[in-house]
A and B are shown apart, each in its own frame.
Chain A
Amino acid sequence: MTNSYVSSKGVSRKGGTFARRNLILAAPLLPLLAYLGFFFFWPMFAVVVDSLKNNDHQWSLINFTTIAQKPYSTAFKNSILLGALSALFASIPGAIFAYVIEVRGSEKLKSLVTSLSGVLANTGGVPLAFMFIATFGAQGSAIKILKALGIDLYSGGFTLFSFSGIVFVYLYFQIPLMVIIFSPALHSVRNEWRDAAKNLGATPKKFWTTIGIPLLFPSFAASFLLLFASGFAAYATARAMTVGNIALVPLVIGTLVDGNVQVDQANVGKSLAVGMVLISALAMIPYLIIQRRARRWQQ
């Protein structure tokens, strides 16, 4: 690639003007990039740097070796499991629900579902946790109804504040999230493909196995990854619902930040954060790549 280009005037210009022209075009974007640099990249950079320092402010991997052991490793295991399970139990019902709405629903129903899912998917944290306490807590309405029907969940040692309880509560925002992110993929399965497949001799089952599912699988996998990251990193709900009995990485970081707990290493919280970022990135980056590629045929 030569440095010069022929301008619209037909005169060849040297590389300098070309670069300068691009710089002028990029200049108004600098505020946004600078903003991101200061408010986003710098904090993350600082965390990474500090995570690699020990109590004497020297470079060291001690924080990372610490978090590789208990109790931190347990927290990671729990969080990863929580992300995976909530993603698993949300992705399939969510996909089915999105499919039924997409294929059978009227336009009005579809927009209602979209706005409702939007509200519920962002219903994190506090309101959600309290809602479930109101429903399934010891004094909850659903428990009372079930008692009236003769079923006493609490007699068997059931508690909402267990691991399975949290997974269950997470479904409440994970399923709507699945509906939101998976619906566009379903929407883009064109009627022409179904008609053409039928015309060429495919039963509905054959259509789905040869065309539909292969087409949708990447988006499904991507959605699963997003749900995993969402369940893994969620803080508010876990905070409002647990009573310190379950170790989850976001919660551990939270207690360290509060400064109430003394730890051997001052920067353990930072390395925990770095660990979180790595795991989250491991899920989110494939998600973004798949989504970009899928958009090609979804046009």
Chain B
Amino acid sequence: MKSGTLELEGISRRFGQTVALDNLNLTIGAGELVALLGPSGCGKTTALRIVAGLERSDAGTVALKGRDVTNLSAHLRNMGMVFQSYSLFPNLSAVENVEFGLKMRKVERASRRKTALELLELVGLDTQSRRFPHQLSGGQQQRVALARALAIQPEVLLLDEPLSALDAQVRTNLREEIRRLQISLGTTTLFVTHDQEEAMAISDRVGVMSNGRLEQIDIPDILYNNPASTFVANFVGTMNHIPAIASEDAVDIFGKKIRIKNPDGKIGKVSALVRPESIEVSRVQGNGQAKIVTRSFLGASSQIVCQLPDGVIIQALMPSHASGELHPGEEVNLNISIHEVLISHV
């Protein structure tokens, strides 16, 4: 069964007075991995559960391969879902868990056992097939859950923060595995997470959500370099807020005039949003624009934290070989190496 496109149109949902989703529109192409990224309460999980059919929307439609499934019961939608944790059936072994969907579809025993074992091998757990969930580690459980979701050859794969409950190292390995599998199987995937690094690392496109709305959906590069709003700019990656004075179309930062990407005509005090890797730090004799607070060696890059005279903290990220001579307490000058910045009003 080839995966198809998933379309959400006008999805809205409220819980009492709270608006969980506000007119959400989203199209996921066949074979695409799209992440919904946002803080707790932004509506991403609600959206996912509506797609799965585990919750109903107040308005809007969900279409799969052009077919309207909005009112189709969850158990008929043929979507595979992986939950955050604890979703394996405790009374069934790993292989019995994986073949559960096939059992529901009345696939005969030998055939479904074979498929289940193949999938377990795919996620590297064929030796643990007879183990029960409580005998498996968190990472192993999630891999079984993934195999279980894929066993039914779903048209859409839904992942609800599958890595949040795992250790850091396991998380990084497993997310790569998920991506590999997804690409090789060509499964259309919707992936919900609050971890922006995770979303950016493996997705074709990332949709940033806030308060039930989709703020921006784009490929990771554009999201990072061309955030559409200050919320997206702050949520994705690290952002410095540098106090600056704005004129009509440019800001003055550290003595340099830089074009404003989102001018709104207001002049006066603003915060210029600058990424750490766009700031160069150099030592000066005498008084500088800032003083170094700490330097953290991170391998290829080093993070240099400086403090301006008025107390504002600036984070810079520079190649380690270019910043080896910088030490805490030294006076430095800062240089913005990009040509336009986003501003936000304080």
Give yes or no for direct A-B contact (beta carbon below 8 Å).
yes
Can you give 28 A-B contacts (C-beta < 8 A)? Answer: A195-B54, A195-B83, A195-B87, A196-B81, A196-B83, A196-B88, A196-B89, A196-B145, A197-B100, A198-B53, A199-B52, A199-B54, A199-B75, A199-B80, A199-B149, A200-B80, A201-B75, A201-B78, A201-B104, A201-B105, A202-B75, A210-B103, A211-B89, A211-B92, A215-B89, A215-B90, A296-B134, A297-B134
Given A214-B91, A215-B91, A297-B134, residue A199 in contact with residue B81 (CB < 8 A): yes
How does the 8 Å CB contact mask read for A68-89 relative to B, with 1 for contact and 0 for none? 0000000000000000000000
Judge if B148 is at the interface, Cβ distance under 8 Å.
yes
Judge if A206 is at the interface, Cβ distance under 8 Å.
yes
Judge if A104 is at the interface, Cβ distance under 8 Å.
no
Chain B residues numbered 55-86 whose CB sits less than 8 Å from any CB in chain A: 74-81, 83, 85-86
Chain A contributes a number of interface residues (CB within 8 A of B) equal to: 19
Judge if A203 is at the interface, Cβ distance under 8 Å.
yes
The 8 closest A-B pairs by CB, nearest first: A201-B104, A200-B101, A297-B90, A192-B87, A199-B81, A198-B74, A196-B87, A201-B75
**Do B54 and A200 touch (CB < 8 A)?**
no
Judge if B6 is at the interface, Cβ distance under 8 Å.
no
CA distance A87 to B101 in the complex (A): 37
Chain B residues numbered 243-302 whose CB sits less than 8 Å from any CB in chain A: none
Q: Closest residue to B84 on the A side, CB-wise? A: A192
Find chain A residues with CB under 8 A from B54 CB. Answer: 195, 198-199
Find chain B residues with CB under 8 A from A199 CB. Answer: 52-54, 74-75, 77, 79-81, 149, 158
How does the 8 Å CB contact mask read for B102-126 relative to A, with 1 for contact and 0 for none? 0111000000000000000000000
Find chain B residues with CB under 8 A from A202 CB. Answer: 75, 100, 104
Find chain A residues with CB under 8 A from B80 CB. Answer: 199-200
Q: Closest residue to A200 on the B side, CB-wise? A: B101
Judge if A193 is at the interface, Cβ distance under 8 Å.
yes
Q: Closest residue to B103 on the A side, CB-wise? A: A210
B interface, size bucket: 20 to 34
Judge if A20 is at the interface, Cβ distance under 8 Å.
no
Chain B residues with CB under 8 Å of chain A are 52-54, 74-81, 83, 85-92, 100-101, 103-105, 133-134, 145, 148-149, 152, 158
CA distance A66 to B92 in the complex (A): 50
CA distance A264 to B330 in the complex (A): 103
Find chain A residues with CB under 8 A from B78 CB. Answer: 201
**Do A193 and B87 touch (CB < 8 A)?**
yes
CB distance from A211 to the nearest CB of B (A): 5
For the complex with contacts A202-B104, A215-B91, 4 further pairs of A-B residues with Cβ separation under 8 Å are A201-B75, A211-B89, A214-B91, A296-B134
Number of A-B contacts (CB under 8 A): 74
Given A196-B81, A214-B91, A296-B134, residue A201 in contact with residue B86 (CB < 8 A): no
CA distance A297 to B132 in the complex (A): 10
Chain A residues numbered 187-226 whose CB sits less than 8 Å from any CB in chain B: 190, 192-193, 195-203, 206, 210-211, 214-215
CB distance from B270 to the nearest CB of A (A): 46
CA distance A192 to B90 in the complex (A): 11
Most chain A beta-carbon contacts within 10 A, residue among B52, B91, B134, B158: B91
Find chain B residues with CB under 8 A from A198 CB. Answer: 53-54, 74-75
Find chain B residues with CB under 8 A from A215 CB. Answer: 89-91
**Do A200 and B86 touch (CB < 8 A)?**
no
CA distance A195 to B77 in the complex (A): 13
CA distance A142 to B177 in the complex (A): 69
Chain A residues numbered 157-213 whose CB sits less than 8 Å from any CB in chain B: 190, 192-193, 195-203, 206, 210-211
**Do B91 and A201 touch (CB < 8 A)?**
no
CA distance A142 to B220 in the complex (A): 74
CA distance A210 to B77 in the complex (A): 20
CB distance from A149 to the nearest CB of B (A): 45
CA distance A214 to B92 in the complex (A): 10
CB distance from A215 to the nearest CB of B (A): 5
Q: Closest residue to A196 on the B side, CB-wise? A: B87
Q: Closest residue to B77 on the A side, CB-wise? A: A199
CA distance A55 to B152 in the complex (A): 75
Find chain A residues with CB under 8 A from B53 CB. Answer: 198-199
**Do A206 and B52 touch (CB < 8 A)?**
no
Q: Closest residue to A299 on the B side, CB-wise? A: B134
Q: Closest residue to B81 on the A side, CB-wise? A: A199
**Do B152 and A201 touch (CB < 8 A)?**
yes
**Do B83 and A200 touch (CB < 8 A)?**
no
Most chain A beta-carbon contacts within 10 A, residue among B101, B104, B134, B145: B104
CB distance from B203 to the nearest CB of A (A): 22
Find chain A residues with CB under 8 A from B103 CB. Answer: 210
Find chain A residues with CB under 8 A from B134 CB. Answer: 296-297
Find chain A residues with CB under 8 A from B145 CB. Answer: 196
**Do A206 and B86 touch (CB < 8 A)?**
no
CA distance A199 to B160 in the complex (A): 13
Q: Closest residue to A195 on the B side, CB-wise? A: B54
CA distance A206 to B152 in the complex (A): 17
Given A199-B52, A200-B104, A296-B134, residue A192 in contact with residue B86 (CB < 8 A): yes
Find chain A residues with CB under 8 A from B133 CB. Answer: 297
CA distance A196 to B84 in the complex (A): 11
Q: Closest residue to B145 on the A side, CB-wise? A: A196
Find chain A residues with CB under 8 A from B85 CB. Answer: 192
CA distance A297 to B104 in the complex (A): 24
CA distance A56 to B80 in the complex (A): 77
**Do A203 and B75 touch (CB < 8 A)?**
yes
CA distance A200 to B145 in the complex (A): 11
CA distance A199 to B87 in the complex (A): 11
**Do A201 and B87 touch (CB < 8 A)?**
no
CA distance A202 to B76 in the complex (A): 9
CB distance from B120 to the nearest CB of A (A): 16
Find chain B residues with CB under 8 A from A196 CB. Answer: 81, 83, 87-89, 145, 148
**Do B152 and A200 touch (CB < 8 A)?**
yes
